[in-house]
Amino acid sequence: MLRCLINDPQTPEAANRPPLLIVHGLFGSARNWGVIAKRMSSDRKVIAVDMRNHGESPWFPTHSYPDLAADLAEVIRAHGGQADVVGHSMGGKASMVLALNEGALVNRLIVADIAPVAYEHDQSSLISAMRHVDLSRVERRSDADAQLEPLVAERGTRAFLIQSLDVKERKWRLNFDVLEAEMSKIVGWPEDVTGQFDGPAYFVSGAESHYVLPEYRDRIKGFFPAARFAKIPGAGHWLHADKPREFEAALQAILA
């Protein structure tokens, strides 16, 4: 099973509400969501997962969305059989496939800045950059940042990537080989996924992001007829990092 970070307030309110499952994006981990998970756990159990081939979860030879969705289904069944699910980017696609394949496990679906479409961008260059870090010369995170800087110009992106570096063990908590081999699946969308999820579905996007374009709405509605849309001003693709309080407020409003 996936490695989970669990915040459980053990209150009557929490006992009466489905847990909130948080599903991170590519190169992320449950740790990236630690602050939001803790703040969201005042009245419900919150489960943040490390996806396969990420963090401290097991490594597998495949990384398709049906596989990722099956992993999430296993977690939900182990924690009561139904959950509110929020997924960002890759995690949003996995959450959508989960809702389409096993809708009874999903109470509410919240998709953060991604659509059920294939994208043309490729993140393999970031894997190449991380591979070029000489881990024998890394004593602290700043050492890795200095090595990444010529290859990854954006400081925020470097800071995000370095969160997956285990400095003490001098290793990355990412299965580069499989993620690189399966990149076309990760940026794509499994065309054999069919059906609909008729439950509540919310698509929350960064106003400065271009991942959820207006022309994608008909496709989204085809899979999720009850879909509703919201944008967070001033936020890009990593909306939960750009505007954490605003993103948290959106989650609270949806879950209330």
Catalytic residues: 89, 237
DSSP element (H, E) containing 76: helix 65-78
Answer whether 32's CB lies under 8 Å from 90's CB: no
Amino acid identity of 93? Answer: K
- What is the C-alpha separation between 112 and 209, in angstroms, rounded? 11
3 state SS of 4:
strand
Amino acid identity of 108? Answer: R
Which are the contacts of 222, defined by CB distance < 8 A and separation ≥ 6?
A: 196
Q: Count Cβ atoms below 10 Å from residue 192 Cβ, excluding itself.
A: 5
Distances (CA, A) of 158 to 55, 91, 147, 155: 17, 20, 10, 5
Residues found in the chain? 256
Strand partners of residue 22: 48, 86
Task: For residue 213, count CB atoms less than 10 angstroms from its CB and return exposed for 0-12, middle for 13-18, buried for 19 or more.
Answer: exposed
Amino acid identity of 17? Answer: R
